[in-house]
Amino acid sequence: MAGLGRSATIVAAPAAAATAQRAAFGALADGTAIEAVTLTGTNGVKARIMTLGATLQALEAPDRDGRVADVTLGHDDAASYISKPNYWGQTIGRYANRIAGGRFTLDGKAYQLTLNEKAASLHGGTTGFDKRVWRIVSVEGSKAAKVVLALTSPAGDQGYPGKVEARVTYALDDDGALTIDFDATSDAPTIVNMTNHALFNLAGEGSAGGATGHRLTIPAARYMPVDAALIPTGEMKPVAEGAFDFTKPRVIGDAIRDGRDPQIVLGRGYDHNWVLDKGITAEPQLAARLEDPASGRVLEVLSTEPGVQFYAGNFLDGTLRGKSGHVYRMGDGIALEPQKFPDTPNQPAFGSARVAPGKPYHHRMIYRVSVTR
C-alpha cells in the first residue's frame, strides 16, 4: 500500500492480534479532509478503509509463495474517486443496482429518484453513498481489527423518503476474513439495499492478464435475464449448463464473448444477478468463490442476502488510470456484489426492500481470502 501520511494513530492490540491504524489520506478539491484506517491481520492480509464512500480502498493478500499484492482496483488518492468516478470498492446505497426509471411506489405513494443512467437510477442515484464522506465512529484493534463509519442521509436525498442513519462496520480477523456489516434505520418507510462494490483481480490489480482467467463458482441454479437497459425482466431462468452456469468452478473467460447468447450481448459480458440457492439467511453463507490458479489466491464471498450481482468489468474501456498509473480495461477486475435483487421495489415477486421505524436494515457479508497450494 502507499503511505498513509505522516500523522497516524495506531490502536494497540494484544500481541499476535490484528491491528488498526488511522491516518490522513489527503483531501478533496474543496479541501474536505479524508481519512483512512488500515486493518492488518497477522497472516499478512491488510484492508484499507477510506472515509470517502466508506470505501475498501485496498486489500492486500499474499499468494502461495508469500508475495503480497493489492487485489482491488482503485485510485492511489482520494480526490480521483470524485474527479474520475467509478464504483471501485465503495459502499453502495441507498439502493444497490438499478431501479427502473428511477421510480417506485411505497405504501401507495410514488417516488422519483435521480437518474444517472438513461433508464434507471443506479447505485443510489447521482450522489449516492459512494460519493459521501462518512464519519469514523470508532477504531479498535483486537482479535478482529475494526472500524465503524456512519452517514446521515436526509429525507428526500436523491428522491428517497425518510431520514436514514447508516452504518458500515469493517472487521478483519487473523484468518483473512474481512466482515462487512451494513446497518440502517429510518424515521419513515423507505427502501434500502446496501453492498460493497470492490472490483477484484486476484493476480494483483493492473496485472497484464486481467481477471477473466480466474475460476468462479456461484451456488445458484438460476439467474435473472435483463432487458436492453440491464433491468431484470422478472424471469428467473435456469443456468442449465449454459453461459451462465457457474454451479461448478469455471473460467470466467470461457463464455464471456459468446455472442450466441443474447444476454451476453446485452450485458457486454456478465452484468447480471444470480438467485442464490441459499436464499436469505440469518448468517452469511457462500455467495461466490473466485480462484486465481496462477497465484493460488482464493476469494470467498459470503452473505445473508438472496442474490449476487456478477459484473465482469465490461465497461472498463482503458480511459481511466488507476493505482500506480495502471490503465484498466475490460475484464481487468470483477465485482461480486451480494444484495437484494435489482429493481425489487417494482417487482413484488422479488421480495421486499422496505425499511421502516422499528424495522431496521441489516446485511452482513464477508470477503474471505486464502491460498491454495
- Over the chain (373 residues), the average pLDDT of each successive run of 10 is 47 68 96 97 96 98 97 97 95 98 98 96 98 97 92 98 98 96 98 98 95 98 97 97 96 96 96 98 98 98 98 93 95 98 98 98 98 92
pLDDT of the residue at 132: 98
Residue type at position 80: S
75 belongs to the catalytic site: no
For residue 340, what are the contacts with CB-CB under 8 A and spacing of at least 6? Answer: 96, 193, 305, 306, 307, 350, 351, 353
Instruction: Copy the grid coordinates of residue 209.
Output: 492478464
pLDDT of the residue at 241: 86
8-371: CATH number: 2.70.98.10
Q: In angstroms, rounded to a whole number, what is the distance separating the alpha carbons of residues 373 and 362?
A: 36
Q: In angstroms, rounded to a whole number, what is the distance separating the alpha carbons of residues 225 and 305?
A: 19
Domain spans of the chain, in order of start: 8-371
One of 75, 197, 272, 326 is an active-site residue; which one? 197
One of 214, 300, 337, 363 is an active-site residue; which one? 337
pLDDT of the residue at 10: 55
197 belongs to the catalytic site: yes
Cell numbers 411505497 correspond to what residue? 106
In DSSP terms, 246 is beta-bridged to none
